[in-house]
Amino acid sequence: MLSWTVKQPVDGIVVAPNERLPWPQTVALGIQHVVAMFGATVLGPLLMGFDPNVAVLMSGVGTLIFFAAVGGKVPSYLGSSFAFISVVVAATGYAGQGANANIAMALGGIVICGALYALIGLAVMATGAGWVERLMPPVVTGAVVAVIGLNLAAVPIKNMAPTSFDSWMQAVTFTAIALVAVFTRGMTRRLLVLVGLILATIAYAALTNGLGWGKPMSGALIAGAAWFGAPAFVTPVFDARAIVLIAPVALILVAENLGHLKAVGAMTGQGMERYIGRAFLGDGVATMVAGGVGGTGVTTYAENIGVMAATRIYSTALFVVAGLFAILLGFSPKFGALIHTIPLPVMGGVSIVVFGLIAIAGAKIWVDNKVDFTDSRNLIVAAITLVIGTGDFTLKFGDFAMGGIGTATFGAIILNAVLGMGRR
């Protein structure tokens, strides 16, 4: 049975994966990880026409599956993967508003994608991760992780601030989080995302409901929602065209997961290489389970890695708490109503901070692995990857469209291999 060494909360303390703070602080920090993930985990299904409550529920289930697969040794949260958005939209013809009428077709593709991902994990467990790491050295994984944050940057800035007032509220939000991060101590600093979100929401309510400067907050949706109720589960349908479009996303998930493991290993000072195959397997099984009931494909979440980077608390106990709490929230329509009540620009400000931390985590991989940018190959691979990923460079193959994260991932792998030909 897994156990954690208890450490007392002291300013500046670093808590390793096999350690934890006392349970009250651990629970609070676990809830913060749910807050950190749910902006993207909810936004992802909304962009694909999926039920956000199912996505949150399955993010919790997936996190616990991942925890079991890696033996509780890797601190990580699994949430909705944005790599699925473009292929799901292409496969289902989703118009962008309301429920996706063809969600069952997408789910079949997601299940097969998860199965392919799990098979890659089994192959790595059988043969070792050397071939994966040769395909994806630190210059590649660092660039891919950085691109994930940079590619998502337009989401809060372009889509989550429709008015000038909303843009100012985003600024208030990320400033609040920054002030908490720099000028507070103890648990307040460690809960910087949650505390900053609460402060910004209070400020938003004061300016809108109090002074009438913007769209006021309303509690009617929360008041009318039940505390407990099952979300809308959906059974997958296995359509060949949808499978062909969606299944290749497994390779993007491999690159994401590998980059995240490198980032976690760099932050904790504990090599995570021996868990690569088990991490792929856990993520793949979690994606299959999620797709089997109506959830989005899942991936290890850089948002939560960003929170760990800011708090320096790497305890895997946090993710058990977070997973259980997400499951509880998934069965609460009131939580779904609460999600829709948090002001959009406040969530946008939180996303700006978290996506920025993702990009920095990618750069940290380069620094920690001493990537040599005087080497022309490393320089070109990183340069091209960052620009095509950030600019959302898209390639189309018939009905299949590969967006920025995909083109950056495959581009980095292929460029690194081609430019490295002839080298030892």
The C-alpha atoms of residue 27 and residue 274 are separated, in whole angstroms, by 28
Long-range Cβ contact pairs of 366-375 (< 8 A, separation 24 or more)? 366/138, 366/139, 366/142, 368/266, 369/138, 369/142, 369/262, 369/266, 371/138, 371/139, 371/142
The answer to whether 25 and 187 have CB atoms below 8 angstroms apart is yes
Query: Which is nearest to 116 in space by CA: 233, 283, 327, 268?
Result: 283
Count of residues in the chain: 424
C-alpha distances out from residue 35 to 66, 335, 345, Å: 19, 12, 15
The answer to whether 265 and 47 have CB atoms below 8 angstroms apart is no
The residues of the chain scoring below 70 in pLDDT are 1-2, 39, 86, 95-98, 186-187, 190, 399-401, 422-424
- Residues 6 or more apart whose Cβ sits within 8 Å of residue 104: 234, 235, 236, 237
- Count the helices and strands in the chain (H runs, E runs): 20, 6
**257 alpha carbon, distance to own chain's centre:** 10
The rounded radius of gyration (Å) of the Cα atoms in the chain is 21
Question: Given this model, what pLDDT does residue 66 score?
Answer: 96
Identify the burial level of 295 via C-beta atoms within 10 angstroms of its C-beta, where 0-12 means exposed, 13-18 middle and 19 or more buried: buried
Question: Given this model, what pLDDT does residue 190 score?
Answer: 65
Torsion sign, CA atoms 257, 263, 265, 267: negative
Question: Given this model, what pLDDT does residue 240 score?
Answer: 83
**136 alpha carbon, distance to own chain's centre:** 20
Question: Given this model, what pLDDT does residue 255 score?
Answer: 78
The answer to whether 84 and 296 have CB atoms below 8 angstroms apart is yes
Give the tokens for residue 168.
């100012």
The answer to whether 286 and 64 have CB atoms below 8 angstroms apart is no
Q: Kindly report the CA angle at 304 between 235 and 372, in degrees rounded to 5?
A: 115
The tens digit of pLDDT for each residue in 379-399 reads 999 999 999 988 888 888 776
